[in-house]
Amino acid sequence: MSIRKPVYLHILWHQHQPWYVIPGSNRCIMPWVRLHGIKDYYDMARLSRDYEGWKQTINLAPSLLNQIQQYADGSLTDESWELSQKPAGELTAEEKQKILKSFFDAHAPRMIHPFPRYDELFRKRGRSPQKAAERFSEQDIRDLQVWHNLSWMDPIWRENPNLPLRRLIKKQRDFTEQDKKVLLDLQLKILREIIPIHRELKQEGKIELTCSPYYHPILPLLCNTSIAQISNPRDPAPDPAFSHPEDAQWQIQEGIAEFEKIMGFRPAGMWPSEGSVSDAVCAMLAKEQVPFFATDEAILFQSTFLHGEASDRRQLYRLHRLETPEGEIDCVFRDHGLSDLIGFVYQNWNPKEAARDFISHLKAIGKDGSDKIPPLVSVILDGENCWEFYPRDGHDFLRYLIEGILADSQIIPTTVPEYQKQYPAKPTLKSIYPGSWINANYRIWIGHHENNSAWHFLRQAREALVEREADLDDEARKTAWKMLHIAEGSDWFWWYGDINSSAHDMLFDQLFRDHLIYLYEQIGVPAPEPLKRPIKQPKKILKGGGVLFRKPVLDGHQSGYYEWVGTRSITAKSGGGAMHQAEEMEAAIHYGRLNKYLCLYVQFQQEVALQSNWQVRVHITKPLNRSISISVGQREKEVDVANNHFEAMLDLNEIGIEPQQEVWFYLEFEPENEPTFSLPHGSELYLQGYNASNASLYWFL
């Protein structure tokens, strides 16, 4: 008879945003603190009030708390907020174009398409804000001002019968300026309640709060960028290295101090930015008497004490204690697979089935074993970005999950401090492997020539500041150091390189450089000319897309020379956006045109074993915006698959694309129960149009 042990669930939601404030102003260059504030920060904390007995930990970056605080007291604004407030009839032509460009910044399938009027405006806008401005009436613009803000409001506000937003949802269109004012006033009210609800729930014992270093830097790289070569020895490294452990210590000390200043108590522990740790960093945490830190399971299995025992996952489900020169410190390691299920997989599931699946995984960990101490399962993930990919912002999934856990006596929601009291850790680690939660290395933030250029400019600015510091007055010195510490944040480096990308890459690049340029202004030294030019290279369009000689036979493999001859062939890799998936997919893509058909042949380098329940989407971005969905097992379309091969022919005429038109597109693969990924990531494939010069190549159709 199997014995079911109790399973202690420690779930931590990490909330952070970089410092978006334009230097020397009270204006954010992007609105994400405000928008996630009305969609995520309040309601994620409120879960502990809505469900008696639910225990969770929320990690708050001090730089995020600062910005929330300033929005709440009215000292901070952003361009989208200003454009939302301005009466539609008073907007200039330039302001209308800005609205048409940025007010559809949302995950369209969950945040635009479900709302008929918003979706109508989205389709009316098309690809060109400049041309669309001529088609949009004053009422269209006002409706867009409302819908942009309304779609970001969490369902707890939109569906509350005691609030006016339900009336706006029902009304759909023809909003008045008063309608808009009601909506924007509610936004400010929510922003003012975010910090108080976290403080109250902590004082009520219903929630635990931790923090990250102040401006969310990769601490081991601040100590010495050369440490990246331990895990990636062949990657180019900044030369000379950036090596300032005192900056890492400052980010820890001041981050804790700022958290305590705002919240009124010290954080219960720390999630080092991106789970990035090293022996030197852990010693700093111990010196600051941080009660515990958390990182990823890959760090545990790479660490010295587990050499030769990496397959024993029981080591993952316990509280560890690390010995450092500054004393001992407790540490927990997250279950990567369970965290990714919530972060990337369940968004496409039936929410009730997803909750049941997660609970079944937890219960399986509690099967009988030799350990006397019940397992502590740490699930740690982004608490803001994943929910916009769920229906209703994840509320249905979270409700079924929490209710299911609370109804199951085997699963005990807990926090690390509570578990520490019951089952104190014993020393288990004498050293920790240097890395982050992503593949146990730092490759996201260093090694690519763009990242290394940013590290070069950071080091150069710091040296200039130190050289002139003695000549500065207190205000200039304080401001210059603040600019440097902001520029040390991880987010700027996240968007450099070719792994992660977004529609706002160039804005992140601009803001990173603006902070350093403002530093130079404070110290009275001209900024280096190269710093005034973008570090980030513009998004590439992969040219090509050949013309096929003949119609291929779709049988899951290339059967002969003429099968796909004439196509363009590239090797593409997947990547991430604001949320990163650790496993990188790589595939050879052969693509070309056969009159009205787009022909694709994809061969994965991994044995991904494509199944009939996979979904593949061809996202066309030009000459029109369309997404074509294909079920791998679907045979009514011209599609075939075998193991790690996928091939398809798509009739472009069916979606209104003529043979002579050029086409830009990328692919998105959605495996069942696995994270979605796109190919190529951060770029598009280009398909030439049919014309007289290549007409003779069409042998057979």
Task: Take residue 647 and report the two structure tokens written for it.
Answer: 């091939």
DSSP state of 38: I
Based on the domain organization, do 517 and 486 belong to the same domain? yes
Q: pLDDT value at position 588?
A: 80
CATH code of the domain containing 683: 2.60.40.1190
Q: Could you say which of 480, 506, 532 is where a domain stops? A: 532
> Domain for residue 587, yes or no?
yes
Based on the domain organization, do 455 and 548 belong to the same domain? no
Residue pair 516/244 in contact (Cβ under 8 Å)? The answer is no
> What is the rounded distance in angstroms from the CA atom of residue 414 to the CA atom of residue 375?
12
Residue 585's nearest CA partner among 607, 559, 615 is: 607
The boundaries of the domain holding residue 500 are 450-532
> Domain for residue 32, yes or no?
no
> Domain for residue 479, yes or no?
yes
> Domain for residue 149, yes or no?
yes
Based on the domain organization, do 559 and 577 belong to the same domain? yes
Based on the domain organization, do 504 and 557 belong to the same domain? no
The DSSP bridge partners found for residue 11 are: 379
C-alpha distance from residue 210 to each of 213, 253, 418 (Å): 10, 14, 14
Q: Taking CA 418 as the corner, what is the angle to CA 413 and CA 420, rounded to the nearest 5 degrees?
A: 120
**Residue ranges of the chain with per-residue pLDDT less than 70:** 1-3, 304-311, 368-370, 539-546, 548-550, 553-567, 569, 573-584, 605-613, 632-644, 672-675, 682-683, 690-701
Q: pLDDT value at position 637?
A: 45
CATH code of the domain containing 483: 1.20.1430
> Domain for residue 593, yes or no?
yes
Q: pLDDT value at position 498?
A: 80
Q: pLDDT value at position 643?
A: 53
> What is the rounded distance in angstroms from the CA atom of residue 211 to the CA atom of residue 201?
16
Based on the domain organization, do 612 and 687 belong to the same domain? yes
In angstroms, the first-to-last Cα distance of the chain is 65
User: For 666, how many CA atoms within 13 A lie in the half-sphere containing its CB?
Assistant: 17
- Number of domain units in the chain: 3
pTM, rounded to two decimals: 0.83
> Domain for residue 246, yes or no?
no
Based on the domain organization, do 509 and 559 belong to the same domain? no
The number of angstroms, rounded, from the C-alpha of 133 to the middle of its chain's C-alpha atoms is 31
Based on the domain organization, do 511 and 629 belong to the same domain? no
Residue pair 380/339 in contact (Cβ under 8 Å)? The answer is yes
Q: Could you say which of 176, 203, 230 is where a domain stops? A: 203
DSSP state of 6: -
pLDDT digits (tens, 9 = 90+) for 359-405: 999 999 998 666 789 999 999 999 999 999 999 999 999 999 999 99
